[in-house]
């Protein structure tokens, strides 16, 4: 009887430890690099799911990517704040899937000043075939310039064939 209890306890502990899975995302260096250009374009926003983190000023950040041509994508970030910010900084990174890692293949920074919300778009051209996504890192600076918040948002992925 005592042996059965010990075996049951060992099996329960094994099952508990087997259920834990460690996962992490890593950005790695690549020689492929594209120029990202700020450009306005139309986009269907009905299918975009918003992200609403808990913060003092940042209310919502939405990042998206769209195929504009066979080798051109458009990336967009929308930022909404609870008050007028002195500066909103958006760092766009175009990332390409390589195996199981996302490699940054292009980057640019855009700004908006004295506003509570903004929508900025950039494009990348002459892209090779592959799967891409947008990483948008947003930093907002309060009007008194002594407080800032940051948030990173990822778009879904698209495939260029």
Determine how β-strand 72-98 pairs with β-strand 101-124: antiparallel
Determine how β-strand 27-28 pairs with β-strand 36-38: unpaired
pLDDT exceeds 80 at position 150? yes
pLDDT at 49: 64
Q: What is the pLDDT of residues 78-132, one digit of tens each?
A: 999 989 999 999 999 999 999 999 999 999 999 999 999 999 999 999 999 999 9
Write down the pTM of the prediction.
Answer: 0.69
pLDDT at 6: 79
Q: What is the pLDDT of residues 43-85, one digit of tens each?
A: 776 666 665 556 788 888 999 999 998 899 999 999 999 899 9
Q: What Å distances lie between residue 140 and 65, 69, 75, 83, 151, CA to CA? A: 22, 32, 19, 10, 9
Helix (H, G, I), strand (E, B) or coil at 104: strand
d(CA 48, CA 14): 41
What six digits make up the tokens of 140?
A: 């907002």
Helix (H, G, I), strand (E, B) or coil at 66: strand
Helix (H, G, I), strand (E, B) or coil at 122: strand
Q: What Å distances lie between residue 122 and 50, 63, 101, CA to CA? A: 19, 12, 23
pLDDT at 15: 67
């Amino acid at each position: 009887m005592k042996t059965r209890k010990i075996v049951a306890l060992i099996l329960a502990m094994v099952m508990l430890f087997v259920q834990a899975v460690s996962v992490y995302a890593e950005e790695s260096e690549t020689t492929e690099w594209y120029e990202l250009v700020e450009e306005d374009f139309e986009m269907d926003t009905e299918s975009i799911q918003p992200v609403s983190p808990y913060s003092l000023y940042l209310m919502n950040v939405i990042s998206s990517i769209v195929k504009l041509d066979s080798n051109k994508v458009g990336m967009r970030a929308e930022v909404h704040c609870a008050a007028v910010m002195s500066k909103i900084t958006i760092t766009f990174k175009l990332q390409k899937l390589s195996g199981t890692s996302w490699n940054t293949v292009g980057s640019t920074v855009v700004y908006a000043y004295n506003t509570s919300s903004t929508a900025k778009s950039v494009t990348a051209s002459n892209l090779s075939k592959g799967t891409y996504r947008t990483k948008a890192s947003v930093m907002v600076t309060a009007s008194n310039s002594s407080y800032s918040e940051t948030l990173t948002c990822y778009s879904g992925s698209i495939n260029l064939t």
